[in-house]
A and B are shown apart, each in its own frame.
Chain A
């Protein structure tokens, strides 16, 4: 109750003329949640700035942008709808193969490939979403894992289409929209991936701050109450799961197009697990977790494997254990406190 008085003033100003709901505070409160914050502008400015400031790291940055998109897609179902998945790589792989096969069979314009890959992954996501409507988190983990295993095995068996264990070689996408050729430095690739990520991020941002997005958070929080308010949870879950599959499929297509290669590895369990690790690092449910996590994860992996090529997984594992045990929030708070003190001292 300590801060009740301040909120009291903000939410229901006393002294307004009788009866009329003259207060705009509730409105401002709701709309304010979707207002852009300074840190967000900073994040995207840095992402774009890296295009110019780090010309020799574009390949790595491209990798980060794609991992960020893939993880954002997992965050949509995990962070916003509370659906756990151990098989999100299935959609990544479907998108990746779809884009690769399209390119190999004559449709080499990348944006067309993205749309086709997203549509196919979305269709599979839609169908498989019905499998995760019922049951507990554990059954969802098993079902999503199983679906991913099925697709891995399919890609392996259909080797006359997918190239099997050798992968699809010689995927040569044309210029984007007929204008921008891919280059060996990854400059076009990063700009392309970042642009796609940004557009899809904007869409996701709008969605999570919409009435639909609110209903997702509600049914994540308490599905019994959500149903008792008239919300048809199943439909919402089908919708968001399909959307997440589209996003993952597009991430897969980006990966194929920018690396000009796709192999079975894209459907590995490790891919799904990595996305979860990225969310553990970055946090769920605020949209930037996947992006910030992707930066941290990739830099960490890159840095560790440069320092200790043989043991980087060990250190990564240790870092994650510490992170989970200490708690990310507490670590962030600590860093924030230090920063605030540093800034305060200078002022």
Chain B
């Protein structure tokens, strides 16, 4: 939080590149995301959006280039170190603890954030600040009624909400949402998208989403990724009016919306 005042750029990449063998999944991607901004990252399937998030979070290590979080170079930092520095994410494909309950999942993240996650002498649930915060967050995320059920038994839509709740429990300054409503039936999407809309204003959000209507209403800036490279970037109006974006993306969008 101390770096907050030093820079208005929350997240920046410089020449970020990732090769899988001979295949270049991200190619020289440089973006800068302003603090508190709602930044959308769009592009056709296989454009390298998820790969980009994996590079940002340290799940994958970059072939070249760097990642700066609040001005600090975190390119070599482990995923958990980046979380502690204020970056959290959701996964396009659920990455949850199937055997744990939502309450345990979120309590775990809260304990970890408070630095009490390695305490072995304390009974779980005896720190009321952890339990209360977890329960409060889960209730706010409409998971209050299922928080003591096994995660694997939750309906898919609830699992998607838990993806977000787990990330929010880290109290990130930068939140990366990789298609938060992916795979959710049409009539349940709004439940998740409402949550995205309701994110605290001070949190910088990078959203990957295929639903253009949603992107245009949510984002203040949009980056378009095509074949691993940054195709163009601009305000919502600029992107919406750009005929090239239509050709590479919007035309195709209709197919898999």
Q: Which residues of A are at the interface with B, using a C-beta cutoff of 8 A? A: 1, 3-4, 7-8, 10-12, 21, 23, 25-34, 206-207, 209-215, 217-218, 221-222, 224-225, 227-233, 235-236, 239
Contacts and interface: CB of A to CB of B under 8 A. Distances in A.
A215 B100 CA distance: 10
A215 B112 contact: yes
14 contacts: A1-B155, A10-B148, A11-B146, A12-B144, A26-B134, A26-B148, A30-B125, A34-B125, A211-B120, A228-B59, A229-B169, A229-B170, A230-B117, A232-B80
A33 B100 CA distance: 12
Given A210-B121, A210-B124, A215 B145 contact: no
Contacts of B166: 225, 228-229
Contacts of A209: 123-124
Nearest to B133: A21
Contacts of A31: 123-126
B117 A212 contact: yes
A230 B171 CA distance: 11
Contacts of B123: 31, 34, 206, 209-210
B140 to A, nearest CB: 11
Nearest to A34: B123
A167 B72 CA distance: 60
A28, A31, A231: which has the most chain B beta carbons within 10 Å? A231
Interface of B: 57, 59, 78-80, 83-84, 88-89, 91, 95-101, 103-105, 107-109, 111-113, 116-126, 128, 131-132, 134-136, 139, 144-149, 155, 166-167, 169-170
B78 to A, nearest CB: 7
Q: Which 5 A-B pairs have the closest CB atoms?
A: A30-B125, A230-B83, A212-B120, A31-B125, A12-B144
Given A21-B135, A230-B83, A230-B84, A212 B170 contact: no
A231 B109 CA distance: 8
A211 B124 contact: yes
A26 B147 contact: yes
A29 B97 contact: no
A11 B120 contact: no
B163 to A, nearest CB: 9
Contacts of B101: 29
B80 A211 contact: no
A21 B136 contact: yes
B153 to A, nearest CB: 9
Contacts of B80: 227, 229-233
A210 B120 contact: yes
B218 to A, nearest CB: 23
A11, A214, A230: which has the most chain B beta carbons within 10 Å? A230
B179 to A, nearest CB: 16
B145 A4 contact: yes
Given A10-B148, A229-B169, A30 B79 contact: no
B108 A215 contact: yes
Nearest to A31: B125
Given A7-B149, A228-B88, A33 B117 contact: no
B78 A232 contact: yes
Given A7-B149, A230-B83, A218 B108 contact: yes
Contact of B116 (A7, A206, A211, A224): A211
A214 B89 CA distance: 21
Given A23-B135, A235-B118, 13 more contacts: A8-B145, A11-B145, A11-B146, A26-B134, A27-B128, A29-B103, A212-B120, A222-B95, A225-B97, A228-B167, A229-B80, A229-B83, A230-B112
A224 B95 contact: yes
B95 A225 contact: yes
Contacts of A12: 139, 144-145, 147
A30 B111 CA distance: 14
A268 B109 CA distance: 42
A21, A28, A34: which has the most chain B beta carbons within 10 Å? A21
Contacts of A210: 119-124
A274 B232 CA distance: 62
Nearest to A230: B83
B170 A26 contact: no
Contact of A29 (B79, B95, B99, B125): B125
Contact of B98 (A4, A222, A236): A222
Nearest to B128: A27
Nearest to B83: A230
